Amino acid sequence: MPVIEEVPDDEPTAGPSTSGNDGPGTSSEDTAPPQPPAGYNWQALTVYISNNKINTSLWLSRWFTVACCIVFIIPIFGSGYAYAAYQRALISNGLTSALRLHQRLPRIQLTREFFGMMLLEDSCHYLLYSLLFANSHPITLVLTPVMLYALLYAMNYTRTLLNMLNPNALPGVHNLINKLAAKQQQIFRFIALNEIILMPCIIFMIFTGRCSLILPFIYYRFLTFRYTSRRNAYCRTMFYEMRVVAENYSRQPNCPGFVSNIITKSIMFLNRLAPPTATAPQQQS
């Protein structure tokens, strides 16, 4: 199972689990948990926010990113404002990634080892991703991982703030957050697939004159960073699963010979492009 970076109060996690074991000789009615005091604990919320200013700033920037993505996808303010929303979403995501990278590597050093460590961080990958597409022609697929990551992390921190305010407040919001957290792995797989599909889209856009010739080479470097990520193996997993599906189809008796030949050569070509230090995940039995 791919492992995602676990950071307290920042990374999205699954919803809280419950247990139906009330212990011997007791009932759920006799051992009902004490209800929290009525009303909202604004003082505790204020203290928590003041003690976690960076995480709160990340929360606000992520909600702003989600809002800009929605304005671009649904041009409620007109098509002229959509491109501005596209740029603001990527700039906001870049600032969020830079702040998150500062949390991971607080001490900046002008050494080769430091830059090597920086390129291993997922936050650095999406900082480069935002800079890469901020001034390019608007592409909806570009905003898909930006929006979904921002939404997952923002909803997770929203649950933390609601628990500080009143655990029983806004049950509908809690249910929505828990449902989103339950689909977390599927969302991460969809994001990884989106990152892979974006590469042939960029190549196609070269022939339409909507992107520069250097963009596919830079994005290829981004894909290699995602493929070799230490904390997020979903991109590597999706490449492996797509290869298995393609190989199985090429072996089917009803598959034309020239199609099977194209699939085989394409897989060999992509294997040569894969980073040498990355290893494909083993197929689960």
Co-location of 215 and 250 in the same domain: no
Cα separation, 140 vs 142, whole angstroms? 5
Q: Is residue 36 part of a domain?
A: no
Contacts of 139 (CB under 8 A, 6+ apart): 133, 198, 201, 205
Same domain, 203 and 265: no
Separation CA 27–CA 33 (nearest Å): 12
Same domain, 207 and 245: no
- For the chain, how many structural domains are there in total? 2
Within a domain: residue 21?
Answer: no
**Domain residues for 245?**
241-277
Query: Are residue 169 and residue 264 in the same domain, yes or no?
Result: no
Are residues 97 and 181 part of one domain? yes
CB proximity list for 276: less than 8 A, separation 6 or greater: none
Q: Taking each helix axis from N to C terminus, what angle separates 140-165 and 122-133, rounded to the nearest 10 degrees?
A: 130
| Cβ partners under 8 Å of residue 257, min gap 6 | none
Are 127 and 265 within one domain?
Answer: no
Global model pTM greater than 0.85: no
Using pLDDT thresholds of 50, 70 and 90, give the confidence band for residue 121.
confident
Higher per-residue pLDDT: 22 or 133: 133
Both 222 and 246 in one domain: the answer is: no
Mean residue pLDDT across the chain: 80
pLDDT of residue 283: 43
Considering the domain architecture, whether residues 210 and 125 belong to the same structural domain is answered as: yes
For residues 90 and 221, membership in a common domain is answered with yes
CA angle 149, 152, 153 (to 5 degrees): 85
Contact 230, 124 (CB under 8 A): no
23 lies in a domain?
Answer: no
**Residues with Cβ within 8 Å of residue 209, at least 6 apart in sequence:** none
- Does residue 135 sit in the same domain as residue 273? no
217-247 pLDDT, tens digit per residue, is: 999 999 999 988 888 888 989 998 999 998 8
32 lies in a domain? no
Looking at per-residue confidence, does 103 or 17 come out higher? Answer: 103
Q: For residue 197, count other CB atoms closer than 10 A to its CB.
A: 12
Are the CB atoms for 66 and 151 separated by under 8 Å?
A: yes
Q: Are residues 203 and 247 in the same domain?
A: no
Residue 120 lies in a domain: yes
